[in-house]
Structures are given as structure tokens and as C-alpha cells.
Structure 1
Amino acid sequence: MKSYLIRPAGALVLALALASCGGGDDDKFTVAGSVGGLLYPGLVLQNNGGQDLTLNPPANATDRVNFSFPNKIEYGEVYNVSIKTQPAHQTCGADPEVADGRTDTAGRLATIDVRLMCYINTAAVGGTITGLTEANTGLVLTNGSNTGTYTPSLDAIKAAKPFRYDLPVKVPYGVTYGVTVLTQPVGRFCTVVNATGTMGDNAVTNVDVNCVPV
């Protein structure tokens, strides 16, 4: 056989061998998924501590935001999707409705589908209470935006005058609150200062209650 026929045949065998070993993008995996509940900008995802991906909220607030990292990974490579920066006014994490797939090995499943969920931040509403004595029990405070009520214990009244309090049910960002006296204490009439407002990113600590003898 002529050598000029052997060489092309050998090159063809080598090409077929390389093709059978893979190495193209078809043999790699895209780290992808979706985020639900995203309402505010600023969310930055990260894969394996190196690839950053910034996501914006959808036009329709009820839609999920699909994402995929630009760099594909090899079969058997471990991926780890984390949240580098939380969005404004929200906290995001694993979607509780599905298995936590933020970290896994490429190829264990046919596709990579990381599911995340974002929730509006909440914070406490509270302040100080002054003017109560051990005989003035029975005060009940409530917030008009939810059903949480607060009744100071006798120990709290004894411990300090004035004393700190927080309503038990936290208020979501952007929601209005209105603290009122649901039940007046024995022998006292209480009024609320700075009773209303709109919840921001931090706890409210200036809804003060002043009680005077009747």
C-alpha cells in the first residue's frame, strides 16, 4: 500500500478517536436555575466563588427569573451556587418547595436546575413604656397591620422604668404599622407616641408608650 494512502487513513482514525472522547460544549453542563419572589434589584449570584451573575426582578412580579452562568462545567465537576449580594429589602435562599440543589455534581442529573426563592425582609416594631407600677397591670398593645399583641409582664414592669418592648409579629418592608392601646392598664391611661409609620430596612424603636394616673 502506498504511504500517501496510509497517512490520510491514520488521520481519520485519530479524529474519530478524539470525537469519541468528547471535549466539546455538548459534553459540558450549564449551571442554570430560577429565582422566585424577586421584587427588588441587586441580587448577585456566584458559582464556585468565581462567576458572578446579576439578576433583575421580572416585569411581572409573580414570574420566576431564569438564569444560567455563561461558563459551562465538565462532567463530574462540583458546582456551588451561592448568593454574593442580597437584593434590596429582601433575603433569598433555597426554595423550600424543592430539594436544595445549590451544590451538586455535574452529570448526576440530566440538567442542572437550581431553584431559589426571595422573601421581603421583616423587622420588629417597638419602643419604651413608662409610667407603670406593679399595681398597673393589664396593658395590651396591638399593631393594626397584623394580629400581634403585647402585654408587659410583671417582671418587666419591676425590672426597669421605662422598659423596652417589641411587638411579637414583625412587619414586612414597605408595610405601614399603627400601634394602639387595645386595653388600658389598671389605674393608668396610656398614649402612644410615634404610633404610625412605614416599615423600612431596620427595626422601629421609637414607638413609645406613656402612662399616667387616672
Structure 2
Amino acid sequence: MKSSILRAGVVALACALGLSACGGGSGDLYLSGAVSNVTKDGLVLTNNGGNDTAVVSPYTSFQFSNRVSTDDQFNIEVKSIPSNTSECHAINGKARANYYTIAQIRVTCTIKTHALTVSVKNLTGNGLVVVNGADRHDVPAGTATVQMAPVYEDGAYGVTVLTQPTGQTCAVSGGSSGNGSGIMGATETTTVTVTCS
């Protein structure tokens, strides 16, 4: 009798020292994953409606502070998103935990884009080419505006003249820097101007 009481006491002590082995407390698996298309603070994730976890710079991964045990159900959801994104969602965010399923988790967001419209003044010659990075546009004589490719919100842009038109010299002004470059805000940019003379 004494022996069985002692044995029960040892088991209870072992459970108290290692809660995860007895079905409670911290488990042995970290819930973590990759993050894509996040460039600023604001992304917050939850697991089973709790353990809020903010994704911080450099915004490439996340890890929940609470661990889970093998075969525990996890359900990772997006609680809030950065202001420059239109949506974020978890991929493979719901399953029973094991070393395979937790390795498949990732979160991806869609960054908002806005129009970059360039005004063109006094263009009478042909051959003008304007660029914003790899976005290139041939601009014929008489053109009033050029619609560049949309730019990510909070992303940089820099409109420059790649080729001058025949018989004219054109210069770029405007944008938040004054020379045709800047950071895209929360609405379209229409302040960049190419003026030819």
C-alpha cells in the first residue's frame, strides 16, 4: 500500500515538473513560419483566438511565444494588418501540430498600389523616353500625361528622362523630393512633371 502511494506521489511530482508530458502547459513545438509582402508594423497573428503575436522588422518570419504539443490543434488567423496592405492571410494555418505541419505555415499580404501619373509640358519633338526603374515609356510629341506602372504604397519611385526628344531638353520636377522621386503615399501621385524646352 505504501509503495503504491509513493508511486502515485512520484507520478504526480513528475507531472508537476513536466506539464507538457501530462497534457498541459508548454509543449515542445514552436509555431513559426515565413512572412511575405510585409514592409511595416501592423501585422498581428493569433493562434486559437489568443497568444497575439506581432510581426516585427525585418518582417520575414513570426514565432508564437506559447509552444504546442504534438497533435494539438492550431488555428493561426490574422487579427490586424499593416495600413499599406489590402489583405493578409495565413496559408496552412490550421492543422494538428507535428514537425511536418508546422513547417508548412506561412503568412502573405497584398500591398496596396497607387497610380503614378506624370504630366508632360511643351513636348514638340519625338524620341522622349521616361523611366521609373524598369518601367519605360516612349512619349510622342504632344503628349500631356504619361501613366506609369502603379507603385507600392510606401514604396520609392524616381522618374527620370532616359532619352531626350529631338531638338529639345526635358527636365523632371515634382514628387515629394522635388526632382521626380519620392515615396508613394496612400493615394495616387500626380505631382511629377516633365517640362521640355
Q: Measured at CA, do residues 116 and 173 of structure 1 come closer, stay the same or move farther in structure 2, by a change above 3 Å? A: same
Q: What does the per-residue CA deviation read over 1:166-209, in whole Å, with 9 as the maximum and x for residues that have no partner?
A: 1x48478464x443322222454433221334314444321112
TM-score when normalising by structure 1: 0.53
Structure 2 match to 1:149: 136
Structure 1 unmatched runs, 5+: 13-21, 95-99
Helix, strand or coil: the match of 1:46?
A: strand
Q: 1:181 aligns with which of 161, 164, 186?
A: 161
Residue 141 of structure 1, CA deviation = 1.0
Q: 1:199 aligns with which of 183, 188, 191?
A: 183
AA of the residue aligned to 1:42: G
Helix, strand or coil: the match of 2:162?
A: strand
**Following the alignment from structure 2 to structure 1, what is the Cα–Cα distance between the partners of residues 184 and 85?**
11
Structure 2 match to 1:165: 147
**Following the alignment from structure 2 to structure 1, what is the Cα–Cα distance between the partners of residues 100 and 196?**
66
Structure 2 match to 1:45: 45
Residue 93 of structure 1, CA deviation = 5.8
AA of the residue aligned to 2:63: F
Structure 1 match to 2:77: 82
**Following the alignment from structure 1 to structure 2, what is the Cα–Cα distance between the partners of residues 44 and 208?**
39
Q: Measured at CA, do residues 183 and 65 of structure 1 come closer, stay the same or move farther in structure 2, by a change above 3 Å? A: closer
Residues matched between the structures, number: 176
Q: What does the per-residue CA deviation read over 1:50-96, in whole Å, with 9 as the maximum and x for residues that have no partner?
A: 336231525xx4x955422759699585x4433332336578968xx
Q: 2:106 aligns with which of 112, 115, 120?
A: 115
Structure 2 unmatched runs, 5+: 9-20
AA of the residue aligned to 1:84: K
AA of the residue aligned to 1:211: C
**Following the alignment from structure 2 to structure 1, what is the Cα–Cα distance between the partners of residues 182 and 194?**
18
**Following the alignment from structure 1 to structure 2, what is the Cα–Cα distance between the partners of residues 89 and 115?**
19
Q: In the alignment, is the contact (CA less than 8 A) between 2:130 and 2:139 conserved in 1?
A: no
After TM superposition, the structure 1 = structure 2 runs for residues 121-132 of structure 1, keeping only pairs within 5 Å, are: 125-132=116-123
Q: Measured at CA, do residues 171 and 140 of structure 1 come closer, stay the same or move farther in structure 2, by a change above 3 Å? A: farther
Point out the structure with the larger strand share: 2
Structure 2 match to 1:190: 170
AA of the residue aligned to 1:41: D
Helix, strand or coil: the match of 1:206?
A: strand
Percent identical: 24
Residue 140 of structure 1, CA deviation = 0.4
Alpha-carbon RMSD across the aligned residues, in angstroms, is 4.9
Q: In the alignment, is the contact (CA less than 8 A) between 2:47 and 2:77 conserved in 1?
A: yes
Residue 128 of structure 1, CA deviation = 1.8
Which has the larger Rg? 1
AA of the residue aligned to 1:86: I
Helix, strand or coil: the match of 1:112?
A: helix
Q: Measured at CA, do residues 82 and 169 of structure 1 come closer, stay the same or move farther in structure 2, by a change above 3 Å? A: same
Residue 106 of structure 1, CA deviation = 0.8
TM-score when normalising by structure 2: 0.56
Q: In the alignment, is the contact (CA less than 8 A) between 2:44 and 2:55 conserved in 1?
A: no
